[in-house]
Amino acid sequence: MSTTPFISVRDLSIGYGDRVVQQGLNFDIHKNDIFFVIGGSGCGKTTLLKHMIGLIAPSKGEILYEGVNYYDSDDETQLTLLQNWGITYQSGALFSSMTLAENVALPLQLYTDLSEKQIAETVAYKLALVGLAGYETFYPAEVSGGMHKRAGLARAIALDPELLFFDEPSAGLDPISSLRLDQLIVQICKALDSTVIIVSHELPSILSIGTNCVFLDAQAKTMLDAGDPKHLLHHSPQEKVRQFLSRAGTAETER
């Protein structure tokens, strides 16, 4: 793993208009990290994700992608960055009127010059990669919640992104499906040589597959710690972080 940061967050303040949600954020994400954004409810995890994927400009500070500031870049550079990112949503966000294959094919049709045959082959491969071989003609309403999320992942990796963003990927899944999704994320990360950023409060996922994280605190409106969650579980100088990762005091933390 490279010691040079793949993503650098420097003195970042985020929020909506005049309302500050988090400030003074400073952390690094390295190539091939499975990086978790963690903390209690209402601390700004999804808000940080929205800033990192280009939806909301920071009120202060920088988010640098291999030294490039998305928000200070021209349209062409921004488009290049976006094409190297894959994004999945809590619900999967598939188009209900399109089959799974059509959903996965959409970014390939929009952003590549591949032939219809090449697109079909790529779609079949990506669906097979997430365990959905043979479901090309199914519609989102015809598959389970876990399959819906995996189809959303197949669409997110259609362009072989360097960077994958997940917003609560295990939300609504049973423990077995959640475990399988965790395993799939690790496999995809290795297969595509990708870096993964996940917003989650699922401790089994955080501690089993996470290699790096940042802990956001709603009361302090800043980060309390960052690093490997397995290390922070026992060695974070912040008691609130240790409690969160050990489940002890979790209910109090999330108030």
Structural domain spans, the chain? 31-46+75-253
pTM of the model as a whole: 0.89
In this predicted structure, what is the pLDDT of residue 114? 94
SS3 93: coil
Report residue 51 CA to chain centroid gap: 12
- Class (C level, CATH) for 31-46+75-253: alpha beta
In this predicted structure, what is the pLDDT of residue 204? 92
Task: Name residue 197's amino acid.
Answer: I
Residues of the chain short of pLDDT 50, as ranges, are 1, 249-255
Please give the C-alpha separations between residue 211 and each of 37, 136, 231, in angstroms, as whole numbers. 12, 33, 10
Per-residue pLDDT reduced to its tens digit, 147-170: 888 898 999 999 999 999 999 888
The side-by-side arrangement of strands in the sheet containing 5-16 is 19-30, 5-16, 60-65, 68-69
In this predicted structure, what is the pLDDT of residue 251? 40
* CA 216 – CA 40 distance, rounded (Å): 8
Are the C-beta atoms of residues 170 and 200 closer than 8 Å to each other?
A: yes
Burial 57-87 (b: 16+ CB within 10 A, else e): ebbebebbbeeeebeeeeeeeeeebebebbb
* CA 166 – CA 88 distance, rounded (Å): 5
In this predicted structure, what is the pLDDT of residue 135? 94
In this predicted structure, what is the pLDDT of residue 141? 92
